[in-house]
Amino acid sequence: MVTTVVLPVKGMTCGACSAKVGRGLSELDGVDSATVNLVTERATVVFDPTTLDVEALRRAVSDLGYRAPVSVEPEVDAEPVGGDAPASEASTRTLLIAFSLTVPVALLSMISALQFAGWEWVVGVLATPVVWGSGMDFHRVTFRNLRHRTTTMDTLVTLGTTAAWAWSVWALVGDSGHVYFETAAVIVTLILLGRWLEGRARHRSGDAIRALAGLSVQDATLEDGSTVPVGEVQVGMRLLVRPGDQVPVDGRVVDGMSTVDESMLTGEPVPVDVDVGDVVIGATVNGHGSLVIEATRVGTETTLARIMRLVEEAQNSTAPVQHLADRISAVFVPIVLVAAAVTLASWLVLGGPASDGMSAAVAVLVIACPCALGLATPTAIMVGTGRGAQLGVLIRNGEALESTRRISHVVLDKTGTITEGRMALAAVTATSGVDSSRALEIAASLESRSEHPIAAAIAGAVDSHIPARQFTVLPGQGVRGTVSGVDVLVGRPDLFDNLPEDLAVARDKALDTGGTVVVVGWDGAPKAVLVVEDRIRDTSAEAVEGLHSLGLSVTLLTGDDERTARTVANAVGIDQVVAGVLPDEKDAEIARLREAGHAVAMVGDGINDAPALARADLGIAMGTGTGVAMAASEMTIVGGDLRAVVDAIGLARRTLGTIKGNLFWAFVYNVSAVPLAAIGLLDPMIAAGAMAFSSIFVVGNSLRLRHFQGRLAAGALN
């Protein structure tokens, strides 16, 4: 038995830090896995609670030189992830002080016309508070890490600036050479500026989840007009939602008619008509009518809370492509320290000026910071998943992003996916000598015991039901039971050996028009044909065209009759159809496609789709379906618009491409810059600027995902 906790981890400054914490936690007895996210400053740990507890995990983090101030993350954070405030007052003040002192230091050092007798002493006096005051946070972290016998990016900064400052003091006191006070001061200031800008960018990466949190309703109005805090609302309470008000919690309409704007959660721009019996989602906006709803989900169980939880889980995850970067970051700093020492020694051995050797060594220390490697994946995941949430697409983890790269085949369920999933009884045809109303009454009485959408449509067609006994579900086939002492069978036409000619004609006519045929029989013989229709979504054809445009093959997989399935497939542009399958056969069909070499994405919404969703390389659940389907999937479409599946795959691919671009830049930057610094082609001040720019570039590149326009967003603009 294992459990999962999310621990805040404070004090991390680079990829080497996050890699060290992850490695340290993973090495604990009882820990199954540990993933550390530099951007969100959180560690997700899967462990055996019988072996160790959360406090032991916190102590392990502390032993590594960092802080885990809270025992365990709550279900839904009051403060969403995405970084702290854009810039705290303290960090801004520190940067301004450093900048005001560094500017005259740089001017005096680089412009000979401004220099005067004793200017080096003035520069030294101005630079010292920058190095040991403004830069104290770097030194403090370095000394803390030294106590734990570890190194990080701050170690490189401290060694570089201290070396430059100490060399300058020695040269100044001994009047024996060039001073590098400006190098030390500029390095500190540029890194502070880089972190300040990076912090602002990282804060923007969490805009989406903060926007979701801002949708929360504070108060709810009871049916009698009194107001209570939304936290006090209980399941079953009746709430009044006036025109223009937000729906406080998930519920079911018990009185009134209106339209509800769900775009902030589902991404679908068109308001939804609601009537008595319809479900409404908390945080959506009521339109013109007044509604009375009965609360069905409250607190952390509301759709909004679940969305926030899934988004935060995704943002705390990492993609498999990041693992290589983590391994490199873990050993990078010690390698850089050796490289800097070798650089200085080489300059001295080859007879070069000691001051030039020191400058090159300092440049190596500064330029090699692996910050960009640590930020490459988490920033892209944070922005990408946040943008997905705005479009009504929930991406569960980084592995789901990797899966989209390989997908070549998409399998679509029919009911509730391509169609609206709102079955309605269209016709009843009874055989000769049988009353059609009586046949419908018997079928409805038995189907009232089932939760299937087709059963609900039949059961809802009559006002009252005869008690049914000995009810039995025939998986994928129908139901059986006793009504008024008669053994009744309701289900697919092939449950019966032969249909009378009049029923066969009714069946064929229904199948030709895309209707679903249900046969009711008793005394061992078919008595009537019931036709249930499920309207094709207006956007399904566009969605299928979008999947084709991504280079994907599309298959319709359904338990319906072949002719019905073909009618629906032709209407939306699907060429490949697999019909008449049972729930376990859906799973087998996915397995067959995978064995044939296809990477398969399965899209479904029902309990019967769950095995296939789990079997597929990528499971995508329609959020209008069951919780079982969503639990078995890697992605969830909050609304019912199939176009969001195109958005989900497109956004996931774009996010993965951004991650790879970030990692490529970070690797190229570090691999190419270190040799240039070692041979003296990079001034330490330029190195500091380049190091800061690399991190800002990675974060900025990730922020471009905020502008991803899917088909739903395009529809809203048109």
Structure confidence by residue, pLDDT tens digits, 370-403: 667 667 777 788 788 888 877 888 887 777 777 8
User: Which tokens in the block code for residue 96?
Assistant: 């301004």
Closest CA to 11 of 136, 137, 132, 131: 137
Q: What is the pLDDT of residues 544-557, one digit of tens each?
A: 999 999 999 999 99
127 pLDDT tier (thresholds 50, 70, 90): very high
What is the predicted pLDDT for the residue at 84? 47
268 pLDDT tier (thresholds 50, 70, 90): low
* Helix orientation angle between 371-390 and 181-205, rounded to the nearest 10 degrees: 20
Positions annotated as catalytic residues are: 413
For residues 565 and 411, give the distance between their C-alpha atoms in angstroms, rounded to a whole number.
13
Q: What angle do CA 699, 700, 704 make, to 5 degrees?
A: 115
Number of Cβ atoms within 10 Å of the Cβ of 528: 25
Q: Are 202 and 82 spatial neighbours (Cβ–Cβ below 8 Å)? A: yes
Reduce the DSSP state of residue 294 to 3 states and report it: strand
What is the predicted pLDDT for the residue at 305? 80
* Helix orientation angle between 354-367 and 643-678, rounded to the nearest 10 degrees: 170
The answer to whether residue 82 scores a pLDDT higher than 50 is no
For residues 270 and 275, give the distance between their C-alpha atoms in angstroms, rounded to a whole number.
16
Closest CA to 385 of 713, 636, 665: 636
Q: Are 319 and 399 spatial neighbours (Cβ–Cβ below 8 Å)? A: yes
| Residue-averaged pLDDT of the chain | 82
What is the predicted pLDDT for the residue at 221? 92
Q: What angle do CA 572, 577, 582 make, to 5 degrees?
A: 120
Give the global pTM. 0.62
What percent of the chain clears pLDDT 70, i.e. is strictly above it?
85
The answer to whether residue 87 scores a pLDDT higher than 80 is no
For residues 712 and 718, give the distance between their C-alpha atoms in angstroms, rounded to a whole number.
10
What is the predicted pLDDT for the residue at 18? 79
User: Which tokens in the block code for residue 196?
Assistant: 């300040």
The answer to whether residue 269 scores a pLDDT higher than 70 is no
Beta strands in 537-649 (DSSP E): 553-557, 576-578, 600-604, 618-622, 635-637
Burial of 486: CB neighbours in 10 Å, binned 0-12, 13-18, 19+: exposed
Helices (H), 391-431: 398-406
Residue 469 Cα to chain centre, angstroms: 46
Weakest mean pLDDT among 106-110, 290-294, 528-532: 106-110
Helices (H), 71-152: 89-110, 119-129, 136-147
Q: How far is CA 669 from CA 202, 369, 663, 680, in A?
A: 21, 10, 10, 16
Q: How far is CA 641 from CA 357, 540, 613, 646, in A?
A: 63, 8, 18, 10
